[in-house]
Amino acid sequence: MIVLKDICKYYGEGSEITKALDGVNLTIKKSEFLSIMGPSGSGKSTLLNIIGCMDRPTSGEYYLDGKDMTKLNDKDLSRIRNKQITFVFQNFALMEKYTVLENIELPLLPRNLNRRKRKELIFKAASQLGIESQLKKMPYQLSRGQQQRVALARALISGADIILADEPTGALDQKNGEELMNIFLKLNKLGKTIILVTHDLNVAKFSKRIIQIIDGRIMKDDKVLL
């Protein structure tokens, strides 16, 4: 599904060049559950952003379902982000002036769906995550665990097969973090491809494969023994 070939991402010029990614080669199959680990500044979030078509590499090739993402224009990449790839962020990225329902609805707005169909999809996603009773509330009225579930419901409602999560448990306590990771496990069993960045080995062990990146290079690629 995902193939990265000699991906490089450089910032700056001349002697001031920073190599965020330096020759990354990586293949991720459909329905894999992969964790990316590494110290701060190692390039793990840059790698996630390139996989998610949020950033472009300086050089190299990135194939998604056989199509080279580096050859697509911004409009095509935006369409892919809306339908094939979705993000879950550490800070939830909720719109504070919107209700829970309106936050979950956001990915559906560019699509030609009537309001009744949108509400059906919203309730289905909210019910899947146990927040159907919170739809009329504002984000500030929810706990951090509930806010992250809203963010995940918003990600799920797009129908994307690939979920990218950047430190998704970073703002949660241990109990809510474990609950979130168990939700990811269930989604993976349903066929979702999940790629998450984390600094926490206990979080990474929920996945089936862990890669470690240092100074923009993949140093280890291990299967998780269950």
Report the number of distinct structural domains present in the chain: 1
Q: What CATH number is attached to the domain comprising 28?
A: 3.40.50.300
Helices 174-189, 144-157: axis angle to 10 degrees equals 20
How many CB atoms within 10 Å of residue 62? 22
For the record, the structure tokens of 210 come out as: 């862990």
Q: Which spans in the chain are helix H?
A: 44-51, 74-83, 100-105, 115-128, 144-157, 174-189, 201-204
**Cβ pair 133, 176 in contact under 8 A:** no
- Which among 84, 66, 67 is positioned nearest to 161, based on CA atoms? 84
Residue 225 has a pLDDT of 57
For the record, the structure tokens of 166 come out as: 């950047």
Query: Is residue 193 very low, low, confident or very high in pLDDT (cuts 50, 70, 90)?
Result: very high
> Span 29-46, mean pLDDT?
93
Spell out the residues 6+ positions from residue 66 whose beta carbon is closer than 8 angstroms to its own: none
- Which among 203, 207, 204, 210 is positioned nearest to 178, based on CA atoms? 203
Select the more confidently predicted residue: 25 or 109. Answer: 25
The pLDDT tens digits for 127-182 are 988 899 999 999 999 998 999 899 999 988 888 899 999 998 888 888 888 988 99
Domain span holding position 138: 2-223
Residue 112 has a pLDDT of 83
State percent of the chain over pLDDT 90: 67
The pLDDT tens digits for 74-132 are 999 988 888 899 998 878 889 999 999 999 999 888 888 888 999 999 999 999 888 99
Query: Is residue 226 very low, low, confident or very high in pLDDT (cuts 50, 70, 90)?
Result: low
